[in-house]
A = this chain, B = another copy of it.
Amino acid sequence: MENFNIQAFIPLFYLVWSDDNLTDIEFETLKSFINSQTWLQEKDKLYLLTKIDKQNPPTREEIIGWKNQLETIVQNNPNISSIFDIIVDMSTASKTALGEFKNDFLQLENDLGVLGEEVVSQFKSKINLATSKSKTASNFDITKITALLNGDQAEIIDKVKKVISQPEFAYYTEESISSYRDKVYEWCKILANENFGNMAFPKEYGGGDDILNYFSIMETLSYHDLSLVIKFGVQFGLWGMSVQLLGTKKHHEKYLKDIGSLKLPGCFAMTETNHGSNVKGLETTATYDHQNKTFIIQTPYPNAQKEYIGNAAVHGQMATVFAKLIINNHDYGVNAFIVPLRDSEGNVLNGIKIGDCGPKMGLNGVDNGTIRFDNVIVPKENMLDRFASVNEKGVFESPIPSDNRRFFTMLGTLVGGRIGIPRSALAAAKSGLAIAIKYGDQRKQFGPDGESEVPILNYRIHQRRLLPHLAKTYAVHFALQYLTKRFVSRTEADMQEIEALAAGMKSYSSWSTTAILQECREACGGKGYLSINRLDRLKNDTEIYTTFEGDNTVLMQLVAKNRLSEFRKSFGKMDSVGLIQYVYENAKTVFSEKNPIATRRTDEAHLLDKQFHLQAFQYREKSILASAAKRIKKLIEDGLAAYDAFNVVQHHMIDVAQAYLERVTLEQFLFAIDTVEDKAIQAVLEKLAQLYALAQIEKNKAWFLEDGYLEPVKTKAIRKMVNQLCWDIRPDAVALVDAFAIPASCLAAPIAFQEQK
């Protein structure tokens, strides 16, 4: 056992000398340990003690020698998980012979304040750190990821890609906004002819009766010009679906076919200059005239005009106009009416005054305009009367008595827009990432002294800028698939939850896209600033996604309020005061059971464990929700009006919504990965999920530290692991954006294709 006597201490010596911070006390501990080991011979003891003499430290070469020895052992034996395992492996003695000393060594580890697992993982993660060596690899079948992403909609997605890859869909690059608008309109006609526009309309009106396909069309079109997508969405989604969903059979028969074929271009005229987010406050009036069985549509003052209305400035012939219904001086709240704007030659009708919103930051292919109504008379049947109507006697009728609830029910039916937009945003993020990652893989700058320059994607900071975003984009993809499926199979019971989820995912995805395209632009440097490389349009076109279909900040408040009411619901009738306290404490208890170890664990297996990720996300979601509830309760008890109390906690409410959306997104990404059978695909997607999860935990780490759910040693380890995952994913990054299968003519940016010399 001579050999063993010395060998057994190598891991400990290495630990002692490699750690700059080791204290005298720890040296003494090790000395005592050596002296107290009865199985050691005196000469061994003396020899060993020379190795921990602070006056005679080992040479640098000796330390490196130990380290190499340890690395070899750990890397050749994946099962090693403790220092004692190393000792066993190094030793010439039999395992059973050594077993009796195990407890001694474990006690020593403890006395030295050393975590065995951590020490081992330090030797394990011996990845290649040479900057110049990392490069694009081909580790899996890209088409299998594409198939997973496309799911059941693969057929329609391929069809759309084929259409937008045709020569007539060459991007518009001239300077005239007017011709750009016409070009986009022409493209829409081609899409209508392909029966893309009416995809969600009932079959009896020429439609495809397939809302899943409709959303996939929206998303796939978004690889092309985003003005086209929005123009398409205004015509078929907003105008068409408002007629379909707010109208009744007589409207469907009269309009849907022509809307679907784009024979009847129209608008969705809800927003007014003075009322955007607060649409309940719209001021346009529709006054019922019982004598003539008509409505008089009126803009009461200039800033009550409809504003930002797509299709209004040039092409729209009709509009669904949202206006307060007035009957006999009584206000019945906001309802919807079909109002003609132009004749079929495009001449603006009497009483209609159209303004042009003029040049915009982006989406200049869409003709947004303002509309004012001066005594415009429309027949009674133009009221979209699914939820409310005026009967033969001129009396208001509705199955939903509350004006407020009726209005929000109407809005609820239109929630599809909050699915189409985030999916379009997602596609734009994919385009941006494809451009930036493919450029970063080829663009070389700087390098080791005297050697070739290195692709900028090999730089850690470049990876940090792009790869967590790539992971998030994959995660959001599956979350949006989930949202879509929930929407399609919705019932009245879960409608509120789905509305909140849609509002939330719209915000989460559009904000994500804004942040991603910002990074992509910067990551492509000067090339990213040239319009030809398309980040310009992608960025500017999607910039408004965070505002339209509901301002994100406002939507996030709604989402948080929905979470608060779900939270209250799920605890039924308990007294609200004690209840909130209870849930808060309960959440703490449930999770803190795992804490004493979990808050400090930093070994690789744990940090990469999806159960850890999911629990952390869930814990954060519940705790933030409970603490927001508690805070609001306290403010109200302190005498604040609810309106003011909610104002005080607005910042907190954003976190409530965010934590909820992050949990849903991670969960759906993990569910999707579970369905994958191909091992290589599963492996790379798992890495992406780990990166998504840890990058979010890192982003929120101040909260986790404040809460005590994580300790500093762990958040620091997480930061390192995020860096590590970026480095590990880098060789697959190009394949992962190729898997989006964006048509080359759509991606278009020369920097995504050209060789750099």
Listed in ascending order, the chain A residues whose CB lies under 8 Å from chain B are 20, 60, 64, 67, 129-131, 173, 175-177, 271, 274-278, 281, 301, 303, 307-308, 357-362, 444-449, 453, 458-462, 464-465, 514, 518, 521-522, 525-526, 528-532, 535-536, 539-540, 543-544, 546-548, 551-553, 557, 581, 630, 634, 637-641, 643-644, 647-651, 654, 701-702, 705-708, 712, 715-716, 719, 723, 756-757
Contact = CB atoms under 8 A, between A and B. Distances in A.
A535 B361 contact: yes
A708 B702 contact: no
Contacts of A649: 460
A460 B648 CA distance: 6
Nearest to A713: B706
B307 A526 contact: yes
A357 B536 CA distance: 14
A529 B648 contact: no
A637 to B, nearest CB: 7
A712 B710 CA distance: 12
Given A361-B539, A448-B643, 5 more contacts: A129-B644, A131-B647, A301-B757, A307-B526, A518-B518
Given A129-B644, A654-B461, A529 B553 contact: no
Given A271-B526, A277-B446, A460 B650 contact: yes
Task: Tell me the dominant secondary structure on chain A's binding face.
Answer: helix
Contacts of A460: 647-651
A705 B301 CA distance: 55
Contacts of A281: 453
Contacts of A446: 277-278
Contacts of A20: 581, 630, 634
B129 A640 contact: yes
A526 B308 contact: yes
B445 A641 contact: no
Contact of A521 (B361, B462, B557, B705): B361
A526 B547 contact: yes
Contacts of A638: 64, 67
Contacts of A634: 20
A360 B530 contact: yes
Nearest to A649: B460
Contacts of A543: 521, 529
A708 B173 CA distance: 55
Given A459-B647, A581-B20, A522 B546 contact: yes
A637 B360 CA distance: 56
A644 B521 contact: no
Contact of A276 (B274, B459, B526, B546): B526
Nearest to A178: B175
Which of the listed residues A449, A522, A723 has the most CB atoms from chain B within 10 Å of its own CB? A522
A357 B527 CA distance: 10
A543 to B, nearest CB: 7
A371 to B, nearest CB: 15
Contact of A547 (B276, B359, B529, B641): B529
11 contacts: A67-B638, A130-B641, A131-B644, A274-B757, A301-B757, A358-B531, A361-B521, A361-B539, A449-B643, A460-B650, A529-B547
A134 to B, nearest CB: 10
A531 B361 contact: yes
A275 B445 contact: yes
A756 B60 contact: no
Nearest to A551: B525
A275 B447 CA distance: 12
Nearest to A514: B518
Contacts of A547: 522, 525-526, 528-529
Contact of A464 (B173, B630, B651): B651
A60 B630 CA distance: 17
B715 A650 contact: no
A30 to B, nearest CB: 20
